[in-house]
C-alpha cells in the first residue's frame, strides 16, 4: 500500500488510507455484501432538501455493461480500469422531471452526487477495498450504453476491487501508482473572512 502523505496522518483511517489505486487484482471478485454496503453508503449521503439526485450503475467485471464501459474509456484509463472488480458509474439528476423542468440547479445535483461518491469511496476504504474515481470516458457513448435519460448526466465513475500484484504490473502502471500524492497548501484554499486571505492556521502545508 502507498505510504500516506505525512499531512494526512492525523485523519480518520478511512480518509487517511484512501488513495487512487491503479494496479488492481484482475482475479478478485467483489463480495455481494461488500458491493451492497457501498451502495448503502452512497444512499446515505446528505443532499440538498434530501433530493438524493443521483443514480448509480453497477458494472461488475465480465458483465455486458462493463464490456460496453470499457469501449468508452479514454486511452489513459485503458491499461488499468479493466482489472478492477467492478466499476460504479454515478449520474446526477440535473432536472426535476423527465420533461426537463427545473434544470436550474445542475450544480447542486452534481455536488450532491459528489457527496454520494465520497461516501462510497470512504466506506470502500473502510472495508479494505481499493478504489479509483475516474472521469476519463466518452460520456455521450457511456450514457447511450447505459440508457441514461437526458435529465440525468454522468459525472463520475469509480473502479473498485482489491490491490493487485505490483511485481506483475507494467512499468507505466507502477510509475502511475507510485507517483507522489500532493495537495495545494491550506493557505491556497482555506480563507478567513476574505477571499484570498489565508485562514490563520497552525498547519504549514
Q: Which residues make up the interface to ligand FMN (CB under 6 A)?
A: 19-20, 76-77, 133-136, 156, 181
Q: Which is nearer to ligand FMN, 89 or 194 (CB)?
A: 89
Q: Which is nearer to ligand FMN, 100 or 136 (CB)?
A: 136
Shortest Cβ distance from residue 125 to ligand FMN (Å)?
Answer: 11
Shortest Cβ distance from residue 96 to ligand FMN (Å)?
Answer: 24
Quickly tell me which residue has 494526512 as its cell.
8
Can you tell me the distance from the alpha carbon of 70 to that of 80, in angstroms, rounded to the nearest whole number? 10
Cβ(24)–Cβ(130) below 8 Å? yes
Q: Which is nearer to ligand FMN, 28 or 137 (CB)?
A: 137
Sheet holding 86-93, edge to edge: 54-60, 86-93, 152-161, 130-134
* Residue 87, phi then psi, degrees to nearest 5: -120, 130
Can you tell me the distance from the alpha carbon of 126 to that of 120, in angstroms, rounded to the nearest whole number? 10
Q: Which is nearer to ligand FMN, 33 or 75 (CB)?
A: 75
Q: Burial letters for 129-148: b for 16+ Cβ neighbours within 10 Å, e otherwise?
A: bbbbbbeebebeebbebbeb
CA atoms within a 13 Å half-sphere pointing along the CA-CB vector of 71: 13
Shortest Cβ distance from residue 181 to ligand FMN (Å)?
Answer: 5
Q: Which is nearer to ligand FMN, 135 or 192 (CB)?
A: 135
How far does the chain reach from its first CA to its final CA, in angstroms? Answer: 23
Quickly tell me which residue has 504490473 as its cell.
169
Q: Which is nearer to ligand FMN, 77 or 119 (CB)?
A: 77
Amino acid at each position: 500500500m502507498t505510504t500516506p502523505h505525512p499531512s494526512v496522518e492525523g485523519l480518520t483511517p478511512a480518509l487517511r488510507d484512501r488513495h487512487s489505486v491503479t494496479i488492481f487484482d484482475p482475479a478478485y471478485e467483489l463480495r455481494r455484501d461488500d458491493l451492497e454496503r457501498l451502495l448503502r453508503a452512497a444512499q446515505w449521503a446528505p443532499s440538498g432538501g434530501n433530493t438524493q439526485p443521483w443514480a448509480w450503475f453497477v458494472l461488475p467485471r465480465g458483465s455486458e455493461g462493463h464490456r460496453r464501459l470499457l469501449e468508452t474509456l479514454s486511452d489513459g484509463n485503458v491499461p488499468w480500469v479493466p482489472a478492477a472488480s467492478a466499476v460504479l458509474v454515478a449520474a446526477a439528476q440535473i432536472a426535476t422531471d423527465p420533461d426537463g423542468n427545473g434544470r436550474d440547479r445542475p450544480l447542486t445535483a452534481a455536488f450532491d452526487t459528489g457527496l454520494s461518491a465520497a461516501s462510497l469511496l470512504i466506506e470502500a476504504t473502510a472495508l479494505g477495498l481499493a478504489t479509483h474515481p475516474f472521469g476519463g470516458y466518452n460520456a455521450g457513448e457511456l450514457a447511450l450504453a447505459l440508457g441514461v435519460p437526458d435529465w440525468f448526466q454522468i459525472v463520475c465513475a469509480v473502479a473498485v476491487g482489491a490491490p493487485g500484484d505490483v511485481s506483475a504490473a507494467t512499468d507505466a502502471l507502477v510509475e502511475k501508482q507510485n507517483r507522489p500524492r500532493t495537495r495545494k497548501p491550506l493557505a491556497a484554499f482555506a480563507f478567513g473572512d476574505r477571499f484570498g486571505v489565508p485562514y490563520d492556521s497552525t498547519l504549514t502545508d
